[in-house]
Structure 1
Amino acid sequence: MRIHAVRSALALMTLCSVAACDAPPEPTPEVAESRAAPELAPEPTPEATPEATHEAKTESAPNSEHERASDKPPIYDEHADNTALVERALAQASAERKRVLLMFGGNWCGWCHKLHELFESDASIREALARDYVLVMIDSHHGETIAARFEVPLDEGVPFLTVLDAQGGVVTRQETGSLEDGPRHDPAKVLAFLQQHAPVPA
């Protein structure tokens, strides 16, 4: 009887052992976690700084502006006698009690075309120019003499504005980046500049 019971117990243990091999034991949470392949954290994307954004804009903007300017009619006479232009403008300003507005730039410059178009399209700006100024367009590539005469820092970019009184004295020098608003010049800022430096009524 005892032998039979022992045999039955051995058979039962063998059966349990075989059944347990059919499926591997479920790993404990700790073991499963250690076996899982570690997930690689994505590399942090460098945050765009204002300096980097400005640098990218500075590098890309001139090319696009030049491409657009290449299809526009010229606004600068590259073969003009700039000294003669300025002297005639000063004589006219003296006779009409106006000031002279020198706009340095070039036909290749998209921003120069934009500012010139604003001079013509905005009624308030057009009126202020006609009333208070004699406009002279100076090609910067051929206007070194005029730039030197009035100490114009062309290395600050174009278009660059210089206001002269009727005697040829410099009233103000103005880079135009601060007059911009996105992809254009701000009409209100341009008009305020012209009004600020207009001749004082007699």
Structure 2
Amino acid sequence: MKKLLFLIITLIFGLSSFAQSQTEGVKIYNPSANAQADIDAAVVKAKKENKHVFVQVGGNWCVWCIRFHNLVEETPELKNYLNANFETVLVNYSPENKNEAVLKKLKNPGRFGFPVFLILDGNGEVIHIQNSAYLEEGKGHSVKLITNFLKNWTYKAVNPAATK
């Protein structure tokens, strides 16, 4: 019985350290960034370029946030589409900085878990909040589902008169 208990405890510690090592040292999100200033700058730029703002809320502690970021970085067609149609902002949510005031202003998107994605218009208004779980297929995020989601929220898709 003692051997079984020892084995179970060892397994639990091993799995928890493995999960930590997957995100340890990753610095995609900046806990000390001024999220509101970053959003405001992206909104100004997006409005000038007839784009929307894609906000990714998450933290360096979140393995799914890191995986999503890596998927975008490693998939040129997805990265290019995102950059061509959106200004992107990463908003940190972590024990160091929960960005509570900013997230409250953004209609509390954390209720959907992390990462969570928001689309803001050229006035900084939230026009969509996306639970990222709906963009998963199999064992991770789907490039096809993400691309389809993004296509539905471009400036041109939301403002069809802009294409005339």
Shorter-chain-normalised TM-score: which range?
Answer: 0.7 to 0.9
Determine helix, strand or coil for the equivalent of 2:61: coil
Q: Is 1:192 the equivalent of 2:148?
A: yes
Deviating runs (4+, > 6 A) in structure 1?
Answer: none
Among 81, 106, 121, the residue aligned to 1:128:
81
Cα distance in 2 for partners of 1:78, 1:130 equals 23
| TM-score, normalising length: structure 1 | 0.65
1:154 maps to 110
Aligned-residue sequence identity (percent) comes to 26
The answer on whether the counterparts of 1:161 and 1:175 sit within 8 Å (CA) in structure 2 is yes
Q: Is 1:144 the equivalent of 2:93?
A: no
Offset of residue 64 of structure 1: 5.6
Q: Which structure has the greater CA radius of gyration?
A: 1
1:155-174 pair list within 5 angstroms: 155-174=111-130
Among 32, 35, 42, the residue aligned to 1:82:
35
Q: Is 1:100 the equivalent of 2:53?
A: yes
1:69-123 CA-partner distances (Å, limit 9, x unpaired): 114x310011011111011011110111111011000001110011111111112
Question: Which stretches in structure 2 are left out of the alignment for 5+ residues?
Answer: 1-14, 157-161
Cα distance in 1 for partners of 2:104, 2:140 equals 28
Q: Is 1:68 the equivalent of 2:49?
A: no
The answer on whether the counterparts of 1:65 and 1:109 sit within 8 Å (CA) in structure 2 is no
Q: Is 1:178 the equivalent of 2:118?
A: no
Q: Which amino acid aligns with 1:184?
A: G
Offset of residue 155 of structure 1: 2.8
Cα distance in 2 for partners of 1:112, 1:78 equals 14
Question: Which stretches in structure 1 are left out of the alignment for 5+ residues?
Answer: 1-60
Structure 1 residues 103-112 or 120-129, which shifts more? 120-129
Cα distance in 2 for partners of 1:197, 1:62 equals 38
1:35-70 CA-partner distances (Å, limit 9, x unpaired): xxxxxxxxxxxxxxxxxxxxxxxxxx9986544111
Cα distance in 2 for partners of 1:116, 1:194 equals 15
| TM-score, normalising length: structure 2 | 0.79
